[in-house]
Amino acid sequence: MDNTLFNLSGKVAVITGGSGTLGTGMAKGLASAGARIAIIGRDGSKAQRVAESLNAEDAAGFSADVTRRDEIERVAETLLTRWGHVDILVNAAGGNRLDAITNPGQTFFDLSPDAMRAVFELNLMGTILPSQVFGRHMVKTGQGSIINISSMAASRPLTRVISYAAAKAGVDNFTRWLAVHLAKEYSPHIRVNAMAPGFFLAEQNRALLIDGSTGKLTARGQAIIDHTPMNRFGEAADLIGTLVWLASDASAFVTGIVVPVDGGYSAFGGV
């Protein structure tokens, strides 16, 4: 096999949400393949600390809210001055809110419209807006790879997380739409794909899956493990292989797909 297919040397990769648990792991993976790394997060100092921790040829952290196009454009201007081009965009910014989740004390009928809109904004618009800003620069060079981070909740809606599941379903649809649009209207060498992680322990869901007082699985955490054939939660390192493949020339004829990275969750019917 030609290992140069997976080599990202000379490429510039932008990762939104790159200072989170999964974003940091993905940044490390792209850096290990040779890419220069730009970390975008709401907390610019945290993003810079992550950038400095990477074993990268060159890396930097930037502060921006992915739901604010003006802030993303400001970051794009800065990093383009530094590196001159953008080759890879990973839209990893996302998350949920407690007030947008149903529970015994908060029914679907009582969910706050503002909370639900905030989840839609972060997960869906927070994917679309960076794709507009950085995709425009990919059009200028005629090549690039956009990788969106979806979720198992998009294709198999999970109980309680109505807003998050709907937003991630929108990410799947947007991924396919943008893949066709960019290939047909601009360049077949600009590809758009998505990864759909299964259940990974991260800051936003740990309390739902692990009992903080005992360290044991919650009932929801146990149900997830019971429905995951590989019998464990995912780790950030489990995303790297698929990510580097989608970012590199190894997937040069792949666009418009959503790749499950879920330990078999989506294949299992529960019986």
Torsion of CA 257, 173, 168, 121, to 10 degrees: 130
Catalytic, 164? Answer: yes
Residue 261: strand pairing partners: 197
DSSP category for residue 234: B
Give 21-66 as a DSSP string.
HHHHHHHHHHHHTT-EEEEEESSHHHHHHHHHHS--SSEEEEE--T
Which residues does 108 contact at the CB level (< 8 Å), separation at least 6?
102, 162
Per-residue confidence (pLDDT) for residue 108, from 0 to 100? 97
pTM of the model: 0.95
Catalytic choice (120, 164, 174, 200)? 164
Which H or E run includes 220? helix 219-226
Q: Where are the domains of the chain?
A: 3-198+236-252, 202-233
Per-residue confidence (pLDDT) for residue 2, from 0 to 100? 62
Name the phi and psi angles at 35, rounded to 5.
-75, 150
CA distance 134 to 83: 13
CA distance 78 to 46: 18
CA distance 157 to 148: 18
Give 146-202 as a DSSP string.
EEEE--HHHHSPPSS-HHHHHHHHHHHHHHHHHHHHHHHHT-TTEEEEEEEE--B--
Per-residue confidence (pLDDT) for residue 154, from 0 to 100? 96
| 61, 51 Cβ separation under 8 angstroms | yes
Per-residue confidence (pLDDT) for residue 37, from 0 to 100? 98
Which residues does 91 contact at the CB level (< 8 Å), separation at least 6?
16, 17, 66, 126, 127, 130, 131, 146, 147, 148, 149, 171
Residue 36: strand pairing partners: 12
The residue type of 5 is L
Query: Which class does domain 3-198+236-252 fall in?
Result: alpha beta
CA distance 210 to 153: 19
What is the residue-level pLDDT of the chain in tens, covering all 271 positions?
Answer: 566 899 999 999 999 999 999 999 999 999 999 999 999 999 999 999 999 999 888 999 999 999 999 999 999 999 999 999 999 999 999 999 999 999 999 999 999 999 999 999 999 999 999 999 999 999 999 999 999 999 999 998 888 999 999 999 999 999 999 999 999 999 999 999 999 999 998 777 777 788 888 989 998 899 999 999 999 999 999 999 999 999 999 999 999 999 999 999 999 988 8
- Token pair 């794909």 is at which residue? 193
